[in-house]
Structure 1
């Protein structure tokens, strides 16, 4: 029988809408899109795409760990950018978190993201 478990942690920013940080369904974890908010203060990191991207990954890592997963378990990543000119910088930082067995992914530019941030990333993880 399949189970659906809601995952939330105070080590990542609270949801800014009617959703949870993640949902675990059987062995698959679906992590909601993360933007560069600092969990403790809910303040936005807006000091450049590099800092913003690292904050997003910090948030993702906190949620993954809360559910018992790690970056090595991520099978799919979705990256949303406000400007495709940031692609190279984001890619460089992305490679620091996914060092082996990189997940499938897409990266798209969108008109606007929540709170007018420059980046949002969601991931799907799976563990045997």
Structure 2
């Protein structure tokens, strides 16, 4: 039996390994950090760099800083200022990362929509 979750894993694997995908260079820690940034951004409560550095359950502050640099250099996040406060940098997703999350969502819908196959 081929279950929906297995189909989903296969679909996202193909998304992540496409030559044009910037996600192919992302490791699981960077993806986990991107997920956290997306959640906060979509809740209209963008994460600050300091908030990200405090995510000790993901990695050490030095590792998080490297992952933030990688995400920013890949065009998946931006650091922005709010209002007149130029000291606090907020982390927000970009159109590129939002397209990636849309692709993941489409893969999930596709995996669930396919009927399960029974093996002999």
Q: What is the TM-score of this pair, normalised by structure 1?
A: 0.26
Say which structure, 1 or 2, has more relative contact order (CA 8 Å, 6+ apart). Answer: 2
Larger Rg computed on CA atoms: 2
Query: Would you tell me which structure has more helix in proportion to its own residues?
Result: 2
Q: Which has the higher strand share?
A: 1
